[in-house]
Amino acid sequence: MEANPQKRKETRKSLRVKVISMGNAEVGKAEQTRMWINQFLGTPISKQSCIIKRYCEKRFVPKYLATIGIDYGVTKVQVRDREIKVNIFDMAGHPFFYEVRNEFYKDTQGVILVYDVGQKESFDALDAWLAEMKQELGPHGNMENIVFVVCANKIDCAKHRSVDESEGRLWAESRGFLYFETSAQTGEGINEMFQTFYSAIIDLCDNGGKRPPSSMGVGFTKEQADAIRRIRNSKDSWDMLGVKPGATRDEVNKAYRKLAVLLHPDKCVAPGSEDAFKAVVNARTVLLKNIKYTKRWAGG
């Protein structure tokens, strides 16, 4: 006879997971954290980075209090029919704390990567954060089986925005990461982000700790993502089409056709493909205006 079927059912349903937050200092990171600096002050002081504070307490802290090393917290959340016990490690973003946070990367099921949409450096730094994690996990660490969510934070500061949505989304989705636009100040995107993030972690755990195949397909190729990124960063029309300055009409047309097929909005769903396609059409028009026809039959 089964001893306690109800209890067994609950045990099967509840999960314990580890989540970490990463991203440059002051981007507004995302964990429920409590830091006890009683060794200095004798009294416990509670502090949280902004996104999680907004999620857990529905309030925003305008004052910046840098995380010192790591903040740690435990929280229980109910997602779908599951209860998840989440152990949260909120990493300090400042390079100074590298030696402290590098211990905390292993055995992680979920990562919240945060950047500030008004600070391009914090977006550019995402690759370095991934590299730091990869290095600390070592050759046997597997980044594939971790759920990553990218938070493009501080979207309330629209005037100062320097990384647009399609650029951030492309970076995230081309790596199979979730992407959300958030503001810890207004609360926009925060609940949705956490619900989707935790839900993806449940799917990962239910799939034996492996990312389910359904969450891998992004609907566009790496070649398309790389082309869009290259076009965005190109310095002139030659560079945009990937031809040398002084290229012939034929070379320009050939390069144009290749990119047009790759990025045509009917064929490509990658974020930013429409703008990239328009930019390529425009670059071709500009270049062809200035390149003279070569008389292939000259002298013949």
What residue ranges bind ligand GTP (CB under 6 A)? 23, 25-29, 49-50, 61-67, 92-94, 153-154, 156-157, 183-185
**With binding defined as CB under 5 A, does residue 49 bind Mg ion?**
yes
In the list Mg ion, ligand GTP, none, the entry touching 237 (Cβ below 5 to 8 angstroms by class) is none
In the list ligand GTP, Mg ion, none, the entry touching 184 (Cβ below 5 to 8 angstroms by class) is ligand GTP
In terms of CB distance, is 25 or 247 closer to ligand GTP? 25
In the list Mg ion, ligand GTP, none, the entry touching 164 (Cβ below 5 to 8 angstroms by class) is none
Residues of span 176-235 touching Mg ion by CB under 5 A: none
In the list ligand GTP, Mg ion, none, the entry touching 98 (Cβ below 5 to 8 angstroms by class) is none
DSSP β-bridge partners for residue 173: none
Do 113 and 151 contact (CB within 8 A), yes or no? yes
Between the two ends of the chain, the Cα-to-Cα distance in Å is 98
Number of residues that bind Mg ion (CB under 5 A): 3
Give all strands of the β-sheet with 82-91 in edge-to-edge order.
Answer: 70-79, 82-91, 15-22, 110-116, 147-153, 178-181
In the list ligand GTP, Mg ion, none, the entry touching 27 (Cβ below 5 to 8 angstroms by class) is ligand GTP
In terms of CB distance, is 24 or 49 closer to Mg ion? 49
In the list Mg ion, ligand GTP, none, the entry touching 291 (Cβ below 5 to 8 angstroms by class) is none
Distance in Å, CB of 172 to Mg ion, minimum: 21
Distance in Å, CB of 21 to ligand GTP, minimum: 8
In the list ligand GTP, Mg ion, none, the entry touching 279 (Cβ below 5 to 8 angstroms by class) is none
Binding mask 11-30 for Mg ion (x = CB under 5 A): ------------------x-
In terms of CB distance, is 32 or 174 closer to Mg ion? 32
* List 19, 24, 35, 67, residue binding Mg ion (CB under 5 A): 67
In terms of CB distance, is 40 or 293 closer to Mg ion? 40
Report the chain's C-alpha Rg in angstroms.
24
102's CB contacts (< 8 A; 6+ apart) are 132, 136
Stretch that binds Mg ion, among 43-51, 72-80, 108-116, 251-259 (CB under 5 A): 43-51
In terms of CB distance, is 23 or 110 closer to ligand GTP? 23
Distance in Å, CB of 64 to ligand GTP, minimum: 3
Q: In this chain, which residue has its C-beta nearest to ligand GTP? A: 28
In terms of CB distance, is 93 or 272 closer to ligand GTP? 93
3-state secondary structure the chain: CCCCHHHHHHHHHCEEEEEEEECCCCCCCCCCCECCCHHHHCCCCCCCCHHHHHHHHCCCCCCCCCCCCEEEEEEEEEECCEEEEEEEEEECCCHHHHHHHHHHCCCCCEEEEEEECCCHHHHHCHHHHHHHHHHHHCCCCCHHHCEEEEEEECCCCHHHCCCCHHHHHHHHHCCCCEEEECCCCCCCCHHHHHHHHHHHHHHHHHCCCCCCHHHCCCCCCHHHHHHHHHHHCCCCHHHHHCCCCCCCHHHHHHHHHHHHHHHCCCCCCCCCHHHHHHHHHHHHHHHHHHCCCCCCCCCC
Residue ranges that bind Mg ion, judged by CB under 5 A: 29, 49, 67
